[in-house]
């Protein structure tokens, strides 16, 4: 193997694509900014305990760990920025007891890729709102997520909704322990109602709860799913509240195509309620995901209601609009000293000025003019 080869699922980003990504990143941060979301930039690495690897098994498996040569403690390279933003809200911004709207755009690193075609170095972009528990906050974030998808130009967007609160309410009422809940969650992902039925029968659950768990994998489809769920699921307060929240989101986006799935529970362990995702018209997997994660900040000393979304900007490579390279003005390398003032003036105006050493270079095709001295005045002459 060549020593310069990159690890699997890691790749360089070349100029044309880098221009697209940076332009999209700038547009997204501008979008977040006009909606009141302030940019934060957490560090790429922290002590691994601060990254919540001890409470989220999935996040723990993604996190690359190294020894800190200064403290001797274990460091983690972040695999998800959301826990870091929760730490910032709970600790560094603790003077504000009201709402904090925060956003970010930075690289994360995964020990293993999420899928065969996934990168191990996603460019994670997202927004989070802390300090307001009402469903209105989730609706605000969903609206912002959908607007973000316009920047990526992914075509018609399907809004997918779920709610972890339905399953957890049933699990609590049925007195399931943590291991049993985890087993059922795994089966829910495969929509295997029969396997669920067999498992809960083996546990000898009360018939009402056994029926409810077997029903969950079948409760997916359009807005009519909520009517069916109210009619067939046990009349628990927490289940009713979850369905009310899902209905509120549907009502907030009356023209939007919506898919509801009460067994769509592919979340990080820190999620606590409403789940939402965006699917493009040609995407087999969600291009953006979010949800409510109340109380995550308690691990950092301040428990707060919170909701937010994120996505990997790199998944949009190939769909982002082309960003043409800026036109170039060249100046002969022998004239650089004499033309120094004119060169800096052009650059201050935003014009790209490149020193011409007499050989081809990347950007040769974008040359629009040449800086020359005409009658003692440095001027740009069209090529």
* Rounded CA separation 21/13 (Å): 9
Residue 287: phi, psi to the nearest 5?
A: -95, -15
41 marked as part of a ligand binding site: no
CB count in 10 Å sphere of residue 278: 23
- Determine contact, residues 260/246, Cβ cutoff 8 Å: yes
Residues 321-344: b if buried by 16+ CB within 10 A, e if exposed: eebeeeebbbbeeebeeebeebbe
Q: Is 128 annotated as a binding residue?
A: yes
Helix ranges (DSSP H) in the chain: 15-34, 57-62, 82-87, 135-152, 164-173, 178-189, 193-202, 207-215, 224-232, 237-252, 340-348
Q: Is 81 annotated as a binding residue?
A: yes
CA atoms of 130 and 151, how far apart (whole Å): 25
The response to whether 124 counts as a known ligand-binding position is yes
Binding site residue list: 80-82, 124, 128, 266
Binding site residue list for L-histidine: 80-82, 124, 128, 266
């Amino acid at each position: 193997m060549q020593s310069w080869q990159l690890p699997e699922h890691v790749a360089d980003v070349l100029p044309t694509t880098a221009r697209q990504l940076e332009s999209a990143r700038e547009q997204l941060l501008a979008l977040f900014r006009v909606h009141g979301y302030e940019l934060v930039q957490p560090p790429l690495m922290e002590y691994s305990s601060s990254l919540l690897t001890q409470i989220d098994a999935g996040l723990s498996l993604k996190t690359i760990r190294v020894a800190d040569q200064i403290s001797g403690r274990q460091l983690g390279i972040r695999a998800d920025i959301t826990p870091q933003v929760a730490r910032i809200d709970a600790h560094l911004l603790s003077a504000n007891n009201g709402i904090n709207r925060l956003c970010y755009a930075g690289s994360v690193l995964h020990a293993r890729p999420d899928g065969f075609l996934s990168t191990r170095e996603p460019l994670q972009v997202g927004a989070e709102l802390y300090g307001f528990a009402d469903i209105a906050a989730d609706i605000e974030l969903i609206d912002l997520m959908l607007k973000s998808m316009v920047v990526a130009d992914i075509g018609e967007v399907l809004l997918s909704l779920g709610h972890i609160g339905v399953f957890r309410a049933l699990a609590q009422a049925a007195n399931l322990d943590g291991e049993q809940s985890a087993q059922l969650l795994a089966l829910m992902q495969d929509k295997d109602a029969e396997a669920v039925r067999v498992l809960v029968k083996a546990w000898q659950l009360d018939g009402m709860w056994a029926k409810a768990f077997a029903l969950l994998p079948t409760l997916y489809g359009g807005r009519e799913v909520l009517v069916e769920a109210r009619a067939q699921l046990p009349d628990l307060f927490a289940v009713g509240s979850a369905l009310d929240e899902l209905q509120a989101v549907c009502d907030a986006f009356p023209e939007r195509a919506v898919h509801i799935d009460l067994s769509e529970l592919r979340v990080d362990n820190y999620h606590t309620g409403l789940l939402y995702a965006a699917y493009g018209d040609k995407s087999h997997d969600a291009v953006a995901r979010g949800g409510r994660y109340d109380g995550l900040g308690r691990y950092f000393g301040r428990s707060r209601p919170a909701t937010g979304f994120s996505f990997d900007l790199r998944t949009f490579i190939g769909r982002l609009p082309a960003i043409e390279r800026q036109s170039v003005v060249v100046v002969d390398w022998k004239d650089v000293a004499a033309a120094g003032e004119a060169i800096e003036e052009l650059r201050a105006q935003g014009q790209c000025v490149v020193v011409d050493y007499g050989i081809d270079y990347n950007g040769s095709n974008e040359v629009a003019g040449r800086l020359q001295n005409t009658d003692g005045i440095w001027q740009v002459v069209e090529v």
